[in-house]
Amino acid sequence: MKSILLIGLGRFGSNIAAKLNELGHEVMAVDSCEDRVNAVLPFVTAAQIGDSTSEEFLSSLGVPSFDACIVAIGDDFQNSLETAWLLKDLGAKKVIARASRGMQEKFLLRNGADEVVYPEKQLAAWTAIRCTSEHILDYTELEDGYAIYELSVPEAWRGKTILQLDVRRKYDINILAVRENGRLNMNVGPDTLLDTERSILVLGHEKAVQKCFRL
């Protein structure tokens, strides 16, 4: 369990609050809008109404005590930038900030943010990849061209084991898990049998996955 300071409770921030709650983390939620704060009360440990660009206010929250600080402000980049800088200046261990444009990402990384999330860019990439093939069910981009794909099992693979397919040697991709009836099974081995009622999670370079599955 980690303690998270979440600043900005619009649609993006409120969804983060709900997910962190689901994962069992402690969340201190902050926004300047009382209605937004009240809306997330069921999902957070504590909440405060306040101005995150005020050094006095942020200091009162005990910033260094949190494992991570998330700046989810989406409607005022100046406030987002000031908040990220103040958090780092006050001793934040880790600052993750939201950007809505590439230029914002650069400024945030130069002014306090340790990491930047770019929801629109990431969703656009997911949508583009997802629509290129009916086999792709989900997609998570990693780095250096690598990604994790969830794909439906090709018809040609039906009734074959992972050992028989030998995709690791042929294509340099790894089958990480098999999903059946909504359940993910990470306990896969050479004798795991594949069929069209299942989907698989594979890890590999995008070009290798495209070649293997003819995407």
Q: What residues are paired with 141 via a beta bridge? A: 147
Whether the pLDDT of residue 19 is over 80: the answer is yes
Domains and CATH numbers, the chain: 3-117 (3.40.50.720), 122-213 (3.30.70.1450)
Cα–Cα distance between 71 and 104 in angstroms, integer? 13
Whole-number pLDDT of residue 132: 66
The tens digit of pLDDT for each residue in 124-172 reads 766 776 666 667 888 777 778 888 888 888 888 888 888 898 888 888 9
In sequence order, the 6+-apart residues with CB closer than 8 A to the CB of 108 are: 80, 81, 84, 97, 99, 116
The tens digit of pLDDT for each residue in 69-125 reads 999 997 788 999 999 999 999 999 999 999 877 788 888 888 888 998 877 667 676
Whole-number pLDDT of residue 155: 83
pLDDT band at 64 (very low <50, low <70, confident <90, very high): very high
Whether the pLDDT of residue 63 is over 70: the answer is yes
The tens digit of pLDDT for each residue in 201-211 reads 889 898 888 88
2-99-56-37 Cα dihedral, nearest 10 degrees: -70
Whole-number pLDDT of residue 26: 95
pLDDT band at 44 (very low <50, low <70, confident <90, very high): very high
- Mean per-residue pLDDT, 20-40: 94
Cα–Cα distance between 77 and 203 in angstroms, integer? 35
Cα–Cα distance between 201 and 130 in angstroms, integer? 14
